[in-house]
Amino acid sequence: MTFINYASREINCKIVYYGPGLCGKTTNIQWIHEQANPEKRGKLVSLATETDRTLFFDFLPLDMGMVKGFKVRFHLYTVPGQVFYDASRKLILRGCDGVIFVADSQRPRLEANIESIANLATNLKDNGFDIRTIPYVLQLNKRDMPTAAPLGEMEDLLRFRNEPMVEAVASRGQGVIETLKACARQILMELQRS
């Protein structure tokens, strides 16, 4: 749910990074935080456990610049990937404008990706959204791993609506901005339509 403030001429959009545990969601937004102009980025808030696994969410506000005289700000959130944090994941999807699904390319994690997409569909539905229509991007992360499954196989397994698909190595920043941009484009085009 985009928040448009005509008085202060601001548009605020919420983007949620979703995916199975250890797929690289936090790495994505950490990389964006490191690269962003310090004047344009907010503070990266991480609610993590002692072992640095996301407990509730990571949050990064980003001022992107102007569109049609409005200041555009993206609020990036990640969800905890571990299976038992489902209640948290559901809460974080509340009012989101777009979802980036970060898939782990490693072959032993293929099933976890499929389960996570199914879980995303359920949790979006519970928040009043439809996974088939919400702005959505599929990121295939960890393409540099020796056990990475072939691209075609991952596409067959995980791509379901002709969504933009981006190959990535988030730890090196590869594909990270491209993924965010693909999601931002859909959200802003949605704004145009509504």
Residues lying near another protein in the complex (CB under 8 A) are found at 1-8, 12, 14, 42-43, 45, 47, 56-57, 59, 61, 64-65, 67-70, 72, 75, 77, 87-88, 91-92, 94-96, 127-129, 177, 181, 184-185, 188-189, 191-192, 194
Angle between helices 25-35 and 176-193 (to 10 degrees): 90
Is 168 or 184 the residue whose CB approaches another protein more closely? 184
Q: How far is the CB of 47 from another protein (least distance, A)?
A: 8
Q: How far is the CB of 38 from another protein (least distance, A)?
A: 14
Q: How far is the CB of 33 from another protein (least distance, A)?
A: 13
Q: How far is the CB of 146 from another protein (least distance, A)?
A: 32
Is 128 or 150 the residue whose CB approaches another protein more closely? 128
Angle between helices 110-126 and 151-158 (to 10 degrees): 30
Nearest to 94 by CA among 1, 186, 12, 17: 1
